[in-house]
Amino acid sequence: MSLALTLSVLLPLPLAALVWRLGAGPRTRLAVVLAGATAVVAFSAVVAATAPALPRPLADLQIGPLVPTRLAAGVVVAALSAQVLEVAIGEGTTPGLAATSVLLAVPAVVVLTATGLVAVALGCGAALGVVWVRWARSAGPQLPVRSLARQAMLAMGALLVGAVITPSVEQGAAPGILVAILYAGAVTSLMGVIPFSLIPGASRRVGAAEASLWRVWLLPIGAVLGLRLVAASPHPIQLPLQELLIGLGVASAVFWSLHGLVADPGSRYWSVAAADAGLVAAAVGLGSVTALGAVLLLLLAHWLSGAVLSEDAGRRSQLVAWVGVSGTPPFGGFAGRLLLVLAAAPVSSTLATWLLAVMGLQLAGSALGMRAATQAPRRPPGGRTREAAALLVAVATLVIGVVPQQALAAVFGVHL
Amino acid sequence: MGPSLLAAGGFLAAAVALLASGTRGAIASALCLGAGFGGVAYLAGGAASLAVPLLLGMVCAMMIWAGGLGARVGSLVWLLGRAPVVGRPRVFSQRSFRLLLGLGGLLAARLLSGHLGAGTISTQGPAFACLFAWEVGAIRIGTGRGPSDLALGALAIGMGASAFILLDSGGGAWQAAALAAGGPAVVLGFFAHAQPWEVQG
């Protein structure tokens, strides 16, 4: 088992170099598909034997082993598949981007499977750092890109310091809120949630294809890390951490869903995605099984539709994709947000009301996106195959809302 | 040497990392942090604990020194692209600003250090040094004007965390401690010669 896991951690390195070497075009796409297939085989071999829900203990001061889980396998494989979609459907993808995406599988596997928080901290810093280097290459050291570099170092530092203070909290000496702030800072930094909402700004500067690295890798890594921290932290840390994630998540969701109403058509998708990242953070804070379902469904919806919607308006498939993420019943975006409201209702009616308000704002923002998709002049679709793939993916965003339980079971092995 | 003296060494190392600038400053910071927090870790695990931060500090310093040799390849233009170096007038110079923030950090470290427990060690002094190092790291990252500043901040946090892990485990968790300080040390060794985003205004 450890051999298969080691291979799955180390394989992306030569594959990333291979993708870089192959250059743009069909060969790059083939290489990325091969990388995804390799990861599927490696992880399937690993998780076939045993599949615990979440690896524990997380706050261990030892390095600890890597424990593969079905959830981690699902996240890594789905993220690689989402990047394949980005390469296949999106415009402006380059060999460097494909290589970076394959490379990101390494810190992702470490963060998702390591039991020791020191290794997780370095993995988080590495994931953010790789994206920073990539964005600095493509856009130069502009402010959002510099902020990502700071976030990388701060997230790593916050997790390291949180890990070493946690034993003092368990002894009753140190205040739990201090560690909760550190953990929440690291999680929101990965997820692009307030106070670390640099993603929509960065997406304008680095381009839609480059910005997909956040949607595909950083957001799910942050979400699963947050779920693990909420589940594994001692009680004095757990409660304030949940409150912080819920508060910051809802604030971020409200801000970005309002921003989606006034954003220009080219960047509206990123506002909607950032608002959904806020909802994901709130769901992570709730920490229940229903909330886990909401997290995974929203991630799945954006993995599927993001490659279509982040492009400039003018594709027929965009209308279908907007319907999928908009919150129109019973499709993907609606199912995820509804599960979140169902998870929040027993906890606080005020929270449920705020979430319903965000659902409405997201629907309104997406409706503007739908209108732009229908009114924009038709662009050359870049080949029938590409447009057909985009349409297929957009339809899949609709389908996951109709059969959410089956979708979650198939991709993540999670049974609601 | 007594615990108070060793803890004071950790504090002084963090103060050097707070105020140092330039490539020579990064080398001095790496050496001081390694020696200072090696001393702090010595309280729990003896010479074996001392060796972990000390060796990593020395390796980091050698990486920075080696990166400076050979036609300035360390500017890392091939990796990060060309950074426009700009300057702008500021009320405080960067070092003065860090010093002011560091004085606030001193107060915070003094208040919090009594709340940390690490195994069987009396932690008031060592915890103060580690807390101050973490604050120095956060200050350098927050006020950093280039990859080198950010990496040095990460090293200060990593060295403080490494020493505290060794204190907490009685020297047993040396692998985790080495990882905590080693990761940032490698990052600093790699990025110490990167072109800054902004020069002193």
Q: With 80 as the cut, is the pLDDT of residue B94 above it? A: yes
Beta bridge partners of A116: A60
Check residues A14 and B54 and name the one with the higher pLDDT: B54
Radius of gyration (C-alpha) of chain A in whole angstroms: 20
Q: DSSP 3-state assignment of A287?
A: coil
Q: Please check whether residue B138 touches A, CB under 8 A.
A: yes
Q: How many CB atoms lie within 10 A of CB A7?
A: 14
Return the H-helix or E-strand segment holding A380. Answer: none
Closest residue of A to B196, CA-based?
A: A141
Reported ipTM: 0.92
The pLDDT mean for chain A works out to: 84
CA of A28: how far to CAs of A16, A21, A87, A215, A332, in Å?
10, 9, 9, 21, 30
State pLDDT tens for residues A209-258.
Answer: 888 899 999 999 999 999 999 998 989 999 999 999 999 999 999 999 99
- Residue A281 confidence class, pLDDT cut points 50, 70, 90: very high
Q: With 70 as the cut, is the pLDDT of residue A13 above it? A: no
d(CA A247, CA A241): 10
Minimal CA–CA distance to A283: which of A258, A260, A250?
A250
Beta bridge partners of B198: B86
Upper half-sphere CA count for residue B141 (Cβ side, 13 Å): 27
- Residue A55 confidence class, pLDDT cut points 50, 70, 90: low
Q: Which residues contact B168 (CB under 8 A, 6 or more apart)?
A: A61, A164, A167, B44, B118, B119
Beta bridge partners of B121: B118
CA-based nearest distance A122→chain B, Å: 7
Q: With 60 as the cut, is the pLDDT of residue A126 above it? A: yes
Q: Which residues contact A3 (CB under 8 A, 6 or more apart)?
A: none
- Residue A1 confidence class, pLDDT cut points 50, 70, 90: very low
Amino acid identity of residue B196, one-letter, is: P
Closest residue of A to B185, CA-based?
A: A122
CA of A381: how far to CAs of A87, A209, A220, A311, B58, in Å?
15, 17, 30, 11, 57
State pLDDT tens for residues A286-340.
Answer: 999 999 999 999 999 999 998 888 877 677 788 999 999 998 888 999 999 999 9
Query: Are A118 and B165 an interchain contact pair (Cβ–Cβ within 8 Å)?
Result: yes
Q: Are B165 and B173 in contact (CB under 8 A)?
A: yes
Mean pLDDT, rounded, for A357-383: 82
d(CA B180, CA A366): 44
Mean pLDDT, rounded, for B149-161: 96
A residues 49-68 lying closer than 8 A (beta carbon) to B: 61-63
Q: Please check whether residue B151 touches A, CB under 8 A.
A: yes
CA-based nearest distance B1→chain A, Å: 25
Query: Are B176 and A165 an interchain contact pair (Cβ–Cβ within 8 Å)?
Result: no
Token pair 């931060």 is found at B53
Which of A52-61, A269-278, B161-170 is least confident?
A52-61
pLDDT the model gives residue B121: 63
Q: With 80 as the cut, is the pLDDT of residue A393 above it? A: yes
Mean pLDDT, rounded, for A160-188: 90
Mean pLDDT, rounded, for B163-171: 90
pLDDT the model gives residue A179: 93
Q: Please check whether residue B86 touches A, CB under 8 A.
A: no
pLDDT the model gives residue A398: 92
**A65: buried, middle or exposed (CB in 10 Å: 19+, 13-18, 0-12)?**
middle
pLDDT the model gives residue B178: 95
- Residue B34 confidence class, pLDDT cut points 50, 70, 90: very high
Token pair 């047993």 is found at B172
pLDDT the model gives residue A274: 94
Q: With 90 as the cut, is the pLDDT of residue B71 above it? A: no
Q: With 60 as the cut, is the pLDDT of residue A48 above it? A: no
Q: Are A299 and A219 in contact (CB under 8 A)?
A: yes
Which of A41-55, A352-366, B36-50 is least confident?
A41-55
